[in-house]
Structure 1
Amino acid sequence: MQVDKCIFFSCVALIAVSAVFSLSLPVFTVLYFNYEPYHFFVRQLAVGVIGIFLMWGISRLDPDKSLVWIGFCLFGFCAIAMGAMHALPSSLVTDAGGAKRWIRLPGFSLAPVEFFKIGFVYFLAWSFTRKIDGTKKSLKEEFGLILPYLFLFLVAVYLIAILQNDLGQVVVLALTLAVMMFFAGTSFRLFAIGIGLAVMLASIAIVTSEHRIARIKSWWGTIQNMVLSILPDGMAAALRVEDTGEAYQISHSLNAIKHGGFFGEGLGAGVFKLGFLSEVHTDFVLAGIAEEIGVLGIFVITGVIVFLLYRIFRVSSKVENKVYHLFTLGVGLLISFSFLMNSYGITSITPIKGIAVPFLSYGGSSVLALCIGIGMVLSVSKKVKD
């Protein structure tokens, strides 16, 4: 039995692109904070190499014996870590905007939420297979069936959105949960209700946070003139919001994409990374890449990601084991929703959520967690019968 090599080499290609742009994009950060010239490049390259070997090693395991242990360890240990890290002293955790998201280890830091997502998807796949049989049930029966999962998700909301102030990750998990639940065998009406509940929870999370309200207003201020111009005057006047603040990041992101044009300014020749776009190597990495290698380069990268997703969903559709089917589907959904939310955010289609671009954004935790997830998918791919 052979692993799906197309998945493996697609991920390797994306990791290589990430390493190249971790040398090019953070130049202002390197100079401003007086880092070593190759600080980000060396770290991202090292993490990428470790991730590739980790992905390859997991792919060689027998999924029937190993996946359940990997999945449950990620789910259990990372959930405990996310809950416990807020009681740890500041010397052991890294604080970002008042939220503790990274555990400091010798030489590097880890974000448990990135690994928790992979474990969460495996737990859902394992549990759905045992609880949801696809038979027709009343709405009341279906709701009773998924009630424990809603409670589990609310715990995840508390750990991630409340304690870590990271609504974007919750949105990704909510969408993944809803789609996996539907493919596990629940009815479309329950799926629609689940999406509605997710929208309601997201709305509550937004209106109860001044920071999130400010982000929404800033985003709306960027697009409202274009949107309201096609509406009747009375409706446009009612929806117009004054004093929305300047959406500097979005404006610079759009300008960077426009400046790059079709072919780009050339590798290393971008100018918006020079203090205009903060976090250009993380949340706005696609904008930085677009300026340097243009729309054509972004098109090629998007093509690789789409091809990767096609191969993952192909494994999901062909594998006979239902746990493996739902798990590989879930991993593909995590990558899909993360990529879409980031790309929509940097182009002002949706508000910015602070979601990393799979494999491309600088950050060891995201890359390593994805490599573990892809390694598990590769292990499952050996069970596919062509």
Structure 2
Amino acid sequence: MQVDKWVFYACVALITIGIIFSLSLPVFTVLFFNYEPYHFFYRQLAVGVLGIFIMWGLSQLNPDKSLVLIGFGLFILCALAMGVMHALPSSMVTDAGGAKRWIRLPGFSLAPVEFFKIGFVYFLAWSFARKIDDSKKSLKEEFNLILPYLFLFLIVVYLIAVLQNDLGQVIVLALTLVMMALFAGTSLRLFGIGLFGAGMLATIAIVTSEHRILRIKSWWGTIQNIVLSILPENMANALRVADVPEPYQISHSLNAIKHGGFFGEGLGAGVFKLGFLSEVHTDFVLAGIAEEIGVLGIFGITSIIVFLLYRIFKISSRSENKVYHLFSLGIGLLISFSFLMNSYGITSITPIKGIAVPFLSYGGSSILALCVGIGMVLMISKKASSK
């Protein structure tokens, strides 16, 4: 059987676009911190090339022998790494907002959570394939069946949302878990309860954290005038929040997108990257790209991602092995939710959650982890039937 080369080509295209914009977008950061002019470009190029080789190398392996080793290896080792990171000295870890998220290695830093997501998806696929089927069950039986996974997810919440203060990754994993459970064979009733539970968990995480409350207020301050204008005056006055923090990042993001127009200002000609969008090469990369190559360019990028997801879900649907089916589905869901959460965040549809854009945002761990996940999907594509 042949590897699905279209998946590989789509990923290479996205990685290449990310490399190009790693030269254009971080110009202010390079000047402000006095980095070498090609600091970000060289690193993104090295990671991108390495990721491409990892994808192709993994695609040549036999999934019947290699998938379980890679999947469980990532799941167990990265969970242990996240558990011990908070106890490591500052010389061995890198902080982000007071949370330890990266392990320092010679020449680079590694974020275990990015690789853990791939391992977590594999564990769910492996376990769901053994525990859940399409047979009719009562709600109580289904709940008892899914209960161990809820306990496991609470541990994941502790490792990521509490120890690393990263709620965005938890939301992505929660949505992925719920959707994978539905496709594994759980009922729509349990699916609805799962979504409600994930919403409650997210609400608790938000109201118990002052900085997350400020983020929600900042987001609401951006959209409240539009939303409240269609409501009755007494209801609008009750929902209006005064003295909200200035949502300068979102404002600059929206202005950058507007400034780019349909065709963009031209590659390298964006101005909002010059100190207005402080995370323009990471969290706000789509806004920076939109300013330089316009709505037309963003449409092209979105088309590549949609095509990639179509090919991944096609591999999933054609996989007769339930583990392969669910794992491919889970990788597609991770990419889908990450892209949607970031694009919705930079346009103020939802609050910003600090989720990287798949293959485009600067950051070695995110790209390499996705390349590992795609490499595993390419392995599976060789076993997918041609029906």
| TM-score, with structure 1 as normaliser | 1.00
CA-CA distance at 1:245 after TM superposition: 1.4
Residue 302 of structure 2 corresponds to 302
CA-CA distance at 1:15 after TM superposition: 0.3
AA aligned opposite 1:66: S
Residue 359 of structure 1 corresponds to 359
AA aligned opposite 2:327: F
Residue 219 of structure 1 corresponds to 219
Provide runs of 4+ in structure 1 moved above 2 Å.
Answer: none
AA aligned opposite 1:270: G
Counterparts of 1:138-217 in structure 2 under 5 Å?
138-217=138-217
Output one character per residue of 1:51-72: Cα deviation in whole Å (capped at 9) or x when no partner. Answer: 0000000000000000000000
Residue 346 of structure 1 corresponds to 346
AA aligned opposite 2:145: L
Distance 1:187 1:384 in 2: 26
Distance 1:9 1:133 in 2: 35
CA-CA distance at 1:231 after TM superposition: 0.6
> Where does structure 2 lack aligned partners over 5 or more consecutive residues?
none
Counterparts of 1:8-157 in structure 2 under 5 Å?
8-157=8-157
SS at match of 2:351: coil
Distance 1:326 1:39 in 2: 39
AA aligned opposite 2:261: G
CA-CA distance at 1:133 after TM superposition: 1.8
Counterparts of 1:303-382 in structure 2 under 5 Å?
303-382=303-382
CA-CA distance at 1:345 after TM superposition: 0.1
Distance 1:291 1:210 in 2: 33
AA aligned opposite 1:277: L
SS at match of 2:186: coil
SS at match of 1:100: strand
Q: Percent identity?
A: 83
Output one character per residue of 1:229-252: Cα deviation in whole Å (capped at 9) or x when no partner. Answer: 011111111100001110000000
CA-CA distance at 1:202 after TM superposition: 0.2
Distance 2:177 2:367 in 1: 22
Distance 1:131 1:196 in 2: 23
CA-CA distance at 1:175 after TM superposition: 0.2
Distance 1:20 1:30 in 2: 16
Distance 1:357 1:183 in 2: 25
CA-CA distance at 1:109 after TM superposition: 0.3
SS at match of 2:103: strand
SS at match of 2:86: helix
Distance 1:226 1:18 in 2: 34
Residue 276 of structure 2 corresponds to 276
Distance 2:193 2:219 in 1: 27
Matched, 1:288 2:288: yes
SS at match of 2:95: strand
SS at match of 1:101: strand
Distance 1:159 1:290 in 2: 35
CA-CA distance at 1:209 after TM superposition: 0.4
CA-CA distance at 1:134 after TM superposition: 1.7
CA-CA distance at 1:385 after TM superposition: 2.0
Counterparts of 1:212-251 in structure 2 under 5 Å?
212-251=212-251
Distance 1:139 1:295 in 2: 46
AA aligned opposite 1:129: A
CA-CA distance at 1:384 after TM superposition: 1.5
SS at match of 2:91: coil
CA-CA distance at 1:273 after TM superposition: 0.2
AA aligned opposite 1:118: I
Distance 2:226 2:96 in 1: 34
Distance 2:60 2:232 in 1: 61
| TM-score, with structure 2 as normaliser | 0.99
SS at match of 2:384: coil
SS at match of 2:104: strand
Superposition RMSD on alpha carbons, in Å? 0.4
SS at match of 1:84: helix
Distance 1:245 1:124 in 2: 40
